[in-house]
Amino acid sequence: MGAYKKLNKQDAYITTHTAHKTWTIDAEDFPSYGITSASAEGLYVNSLQQLYYPSKSNGEIVSHSYDYYSQTTLNFSESRNLTTGSFILSIPREMYGVNIQPGLQIRLGGTPSSLYVNTDFWNSDYVDESLAITGIILVDDKEGNLYRLGSSPREYIGDIIYSHGIAVITNPTYLDMIKTVPISRVTYKTSHPIFTHTYHCKVRESELNHTYNPSALSSSLKTVYDNIGDIYSISASYSNGDKNANISVDQFQPYITTVGLYNDANQLIAVGKMAQPIPKSANTEMTITVKLDI
């Protein structure tokens, strides 16, 4: 049987923990995770221009009314220019939480079916199969720019928008390359907040010291009479709070096994089970802490 007690406002509070998880997703699994890739055409271009690529003059951003999500206060790389046919890789919000953590990697090729023809050996009909085996790795420099891993000096080829889960490849050379060496894998780390609702259920030493077990309490039939004194109804047995005659001990301390949380409408919203029954103390105040992650 249960006993009810109203919590005070100061007994409930919320704390936040930011969890991080690393994802490695192959291209064949992109549809399952909602990851999309497309060439920037039509309305895509307008959206990219509005949000991420404002107008420039001599390399400097000019006055504009664009939203513009800048990823860094450092000098902008030459990759921060939108070109015709730019390639977009979009990760849905449920797959990255608050934002993508700096350090995203994109692999081009790396599968036997992806072969890139090296134009330096075109006349010899030479096919560079190394790209089919190792692929090309595009790395985030953690300042919002994509560059090719191993290039020296760094060859910047695109941009990362951390807060929106978007990678944009803008380098014309790689836009042509991606047609024959498509994206085969993306690796990134997510940030997802976890809200922990903590409730301190306090029970004073003088409270809840009586058992509610029906087998330990005496009961009787409840008779209801009408206005003229005739019996109106006889209900089932109900407890009057007294111990049964077969209970010989003076004290009958209950054990706490379960804590339930109810809303203002008396609807049960959460249940917490003890690892083992805990005896209710009649001498010391007890506090049971219930944590609910949402």
Domain ranges of the chain: 20-193, 215-249
Task: Give the pairing of strands 156-161 and 145-148.
Answer: antiparallel
Predicted pLDDT of residue 187: 92
Predicted pLDDT of residue 186: 92
Predicted pLDDT of residue 199: 92
Predicted pLDDT of residue 65: 56
Predicted pLDDT of residue 35: 92
Task: Give the pairing of strands 231-243 and 255-262.
Answer: unpaired
Predicted pLDDT of residue 229: 66
3-23 burial, b at 16+ Cβ within 10 Å, e below that, comes to: eeeeeeeeeeeeeeeeeeeeb
Bridge partner list, 167: 89, 160
Predicted pLDDT of residue 59: 55
Predicted pLDDT of residue 177: 85
Predicted pLDDT of residue 44: 75
Predicted pLDDT of residue 85: 81
Q: How far apart are CA 57 and CA 62, in angstroms?
A: 6
SS (H, E, C) the chain: CCCCCCCCHHHEEEEEEEEEEEEEEEHHHHHHHCCEEEECCCHHHHHHHHHCCCCEECCEECCCCCCCCCCCCCCCCCCCCCCCCCEEEECCHHHCECEECCCCEEEECCCCCCCEECHHHHHHCCEECHHHHCCEEEEECCCCEEEECCCCCCCEEEEEEHHHCEEEECCHHHHHHHHHCCEEEEEEEEEEEEEEEEEEEEECCCCCCCCCCHHHEEEEEEEEECCCCCEEEEEEEEEEEEECCCCCCCCCCCEEEEEEEECCCCCEEEEEEEEEEEECCCCCCEEEEEEEEC
Q: How far apart are CA 185 and CA 213, in angstroms?
A: 61
> pLDDT 10s per residue in the chain (294 long)?
577 888 888 889 898 888 888 999 999 999 999 998 888 777 777 788 777 876 655 555 555 555 666 665 555 544 567 777 888 899 998 888 888 998 899 998 875 444 444 444 333 343 344 444 457 889 988 888 899 988 888 888 888 888 889 999 988 888 888 888 888 899 999 888 888 999 999 988 888 777 666 666 666 545 566 666 666 555 555 555 566 656 666 666 788 889 999 988 888 888 989 889 988 888 889 999 998 887
